[in-house]
């Protein structure tokens, strides 16, 4: 077995976009997601080490100190920062010419050949679900015999082995808690709407929804929700509770944890007695009776992808939801005391100046406790990307984040429409945030929360400083 290093590589300062983050850019307040996509194969390779450079504050020089100690380096790469990740691979190869280097992640799964050829330092690309692929590489199995691999043949040209079958026995995957305990520090991970310190897990992959913009179901996870049994999830959370008594909240980071209502109710009942709040990603169509069960068994926050408040746009992106259902769900959450963090996207197909106003009015009406506003990100491998290419919606370049010194890492407005420019979409984000948060009712809600929780007081004050810095600094690159 090759001595293996799994690396979430250093990037822009404050950037949170790899190995577990769904929003590949700097955020308005400090955020670090657990590197779940790397932790899983790290748990399957004996003697491995997982390094999360962005969360732990490690520089490239810090990481390179490990280069000579390992035979295999696995780097999680993203579409927005792939050139940077290639430089990391080249630096490791220069420090240790004998180290084998592979790239994993949704981006390289989508464009494996260009990803491989982007740098001579890259020995292979593992496509799609890469857990068992990496295990076989670490075992020393010949590349040509490993499913799901793209590598250079003897003539230097890319060779693609057959696709690896999707994992359906999710219970066969080992728990990641021991890897977290060995290699990560929970204090390094922050999410604005989740109590600190928190811990995140995947309990399944894939999503039944068909949203045109969503990266993972279209590249790695698939359109079917493949999940571990409720019994297995309950065992992992129980173990994590014992291993990490300091953790104040668990987060289930499945694309849509509530896709299987019977299973999620069983899990909730199985962990409710642990006394630790939990949160998850959810679709805005959960029946009230299920919400009641979840709330009674520790559910604190639902992260809900509202995306837009305009039915036509929801139809355009194949969200599969009706506005009236969303409003009823949101009202149920308010009445039951379930906190909602809502996510919205500006610049989806069909967006206009008027629909942005309508979505803002909708956001105020459903009134999530907190929200995230991003811009439509057409990642390669998604239906939205293909639409953008076919319709000429891309700007001059296809950058997804800013590269400028001092402004690097912020998301850019990658799309532009005949009646709505990229500049208007970009400015719309800050205007949306200010209009939602800078109103008496929301300010009062936040102040009340702060006055009743000293930890929340300190946290909201810090986040306020970061938020105003976000509003100030993200505009600079656009003005250059």
61-102 pLDDT per residue, tens: 999 999 999 999 999 999 889 999 999 999 999 999 999 999
d(CA 82, CA 103): 10
- For residues 73 and 122, the answer to whether their CB atoms sit within 8 Å is no
Region 419-442 average pLDDT: 94
Q: pLDDT per residue over 158-198, tens digit each?
A: 999 999 999 999 999 999 999 999 999 999 998 989 999 99
The more confidently predicted of residues 399 and 211 is 211
Q: How confident is the model at residue 480 (pLDDT cuts 50, 70, 90)?
A: very low
Question: Each residue of 221-273: pLDDT tens digit?
Answer: 898 999 999 999 999 999 999 999 999 999 999 999 999 999 999 999 999 99
The predicted pLDDT at position 402 comes to 78
Mean pLDDT, range 283-304, rounded to an integer: 98
For residue range 113-142, what is the model confidence (pLDDT) as tens digits? 999 999 999 999 999 999 999 999 999 999
* Residue-level pLDDT at 455: 79
**Sequence-separated (6 or more) residues with CB below 8 Å from residue 386:** none
Q: Residue 406: its pLDDT value, please?
A: 53
The pLDDT > 90 percentage for the chain reads 81
Q: What pLDDT is stored for residue 479 in this prediction?
A: 38
pTM over cut 0.75: yes
- The tally of CA atoms less than 13 A away on the side-chain side of residue 323 is 15
Take residue 373 and report the two structure tokens written for it.
């506003």
Q: Mean pLDDT, to the nearest integer, of 292-297?
A: 98
CA distances in angstroms from 201 to 240, 302, 440, listed in the order given: 10, 15, 36
pLDDT at 404 exceeding the cut of 60? no
Q: CA angle, corner 205, sides to 202 and 209, nearest 5?
A: 125
- Least reliable range by pLDDT among 331-335, 357-361, 391-395, 406-410: 406-410
Q: What is the pLDDT of residue 18?
A: 75
Helix (H) or strand (E) holding 139: none
Q: Are 133 and 146 in contact (CB under 8 A)?
A: yes
CATH 3.40.50.2300 residue ranges in the chain?
4-160
C-alpha dihedral (342, 348, 349, 354), degrees to nearest 10? 80
Alpha carbon separation from 197 to 32, 187, 459, 460 (Å, rounded): 11, 6, 12, 15
Q: How far apart are CA 183 and CA 6, in angstroms?
A: 11
- Centre a 10 Å sphere on the Cβ of residue 420 and count the other Cβ atoms it contains: 21
For domain 191-379+425-438, give the CATH superfamily. Answer: Aldolase class I (3.20.20.70)
Q: Comparing 32 with 290, which gets the higher pLDDT?
A: 290
> For 248, what's the count of Cα atoms within 13 Å in the CB-facing half-sphere?
12
Residue 408 in this model has a pLDDT that exceeds 90:
no
Task: Return left, alpha or beta for 56; rule: phi > 0 is left, psi -120 to 50 is alpha, else beta.
Answer: alpha
Helix (H) or strand (E) holding 305: strand 299-307
**Confidence label for 447 from pLDDT (cuts 50, 70 and 90):** confident
**Contact criterion met (CB below 8 Å) for 410 and 26:** yes
High-pLDDT (> 70) share of the chain, %: 98
pLDDT of residue 11: 86
CATH 3.20.20.70 in the chain is located at: 191-379+425-438
Average pLDDT over residues 338-354: 97
CATH top class, domain 4-160: alpha beta
Q: Which residue has the tokens 């696995």?
A: 74
- Is 463 a residue whose pLDDT tops 80? no
Average pLDDT over every residue of 372-388: 94
Higher pLDDT residue, 396 or 473? Answer: 473
């Amino acid at each position: 077995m090759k001595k293996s290093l799994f690396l979430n590589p250093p990037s822009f300062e404050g950037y949170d976009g790899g190995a577990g983050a769904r929003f590949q850019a700097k955020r308005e307040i400090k955020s670090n997601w657990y590197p779940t996509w790397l932790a899983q194969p790290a748990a399957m390779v004996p003697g491995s080490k997982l390094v999360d450079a962005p969360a732990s504050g490690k520089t490239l020089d810090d990481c390179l100190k490990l280069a000579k100690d390992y035979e295999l380096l696995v780097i999680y790469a993203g579409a927005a920062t792939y050139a940077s990740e290639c430089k990391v691979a080249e630096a490791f190869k220069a420090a240790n010419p004998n180290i084998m280097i592979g790239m994993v992640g949704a981006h390289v799964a989508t464009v494996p050949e260009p990803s491989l050829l982007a740098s001579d330092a890259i020995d292979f690309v593992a496509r799609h679900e890469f857990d068992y692929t990496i295990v076989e590489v670490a075992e020393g199995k010949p590349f040509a015999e490993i499913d799901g691999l793209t590598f250079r043949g003897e003539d230097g040209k890319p060779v693609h082995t057959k696709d690896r079958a999707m994992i359906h026995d999710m219970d066969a995957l080992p728990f990641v808690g021991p890897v977290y305990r060995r290699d990560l520090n929970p204090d390094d991970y922050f999410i604005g709407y989740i109590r600190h310190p928190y811990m995140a897990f995947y309990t399944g992959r894939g999503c039944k929804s068909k949203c045109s913009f969503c990266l993972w179901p279209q590249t790695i996870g698939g359109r079917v929700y493949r999940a571990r049994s409720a019994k297995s999830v309950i065992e992992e959370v129980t173990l994590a509770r014992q291993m990490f008594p300091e953790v104040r909240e668990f987060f289930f980071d499945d694309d849509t944890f509530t896709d299987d209502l019977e299973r999620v109710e069983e899990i909730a009942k199985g962990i409710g007695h642990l006394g630790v709040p939990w949160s998850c990603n959810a679709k805005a169509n959960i029946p009230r009776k299920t919400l009641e069960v979840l709330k009674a068994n520790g559910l604190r926050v639902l992260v809900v992808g509202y995306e837009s408040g305009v039915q036509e746009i929801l139809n355009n992106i194949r969200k599969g939801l009706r506005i009236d259902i969303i409003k009823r769900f949101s009202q149920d959450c308010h009445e039951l005391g379930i906190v909602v963090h809502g996510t919205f996207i500006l610049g989806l197909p069909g967006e206009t100046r008027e629909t942005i106003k309508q979505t803002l009015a909708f956001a105020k009406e459903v009134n999530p406790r907190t929200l995230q506003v991003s811009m439509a990100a057409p990642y390669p491998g998604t239906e939205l990307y293909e639409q953008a290419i076919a319709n000429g919606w891309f700007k001059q370049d296809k950058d997804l984040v800013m590269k400028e010194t001092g402004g690097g890492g912020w998301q850019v407005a990658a799309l532009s429409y005949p009646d709505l420019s990229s500049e208007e979409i970009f400015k719309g984000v800050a205007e949306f945030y200010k209009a939602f948060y800078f109103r008496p009712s929301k300010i009062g809600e936040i102040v009340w929360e702060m006055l009743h929780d000293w930890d929340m007081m300190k946290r909201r004050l810090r986040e306020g400083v970061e938020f105003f810095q976000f509003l100030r600094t993200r505009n600079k690159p656009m003005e250059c």
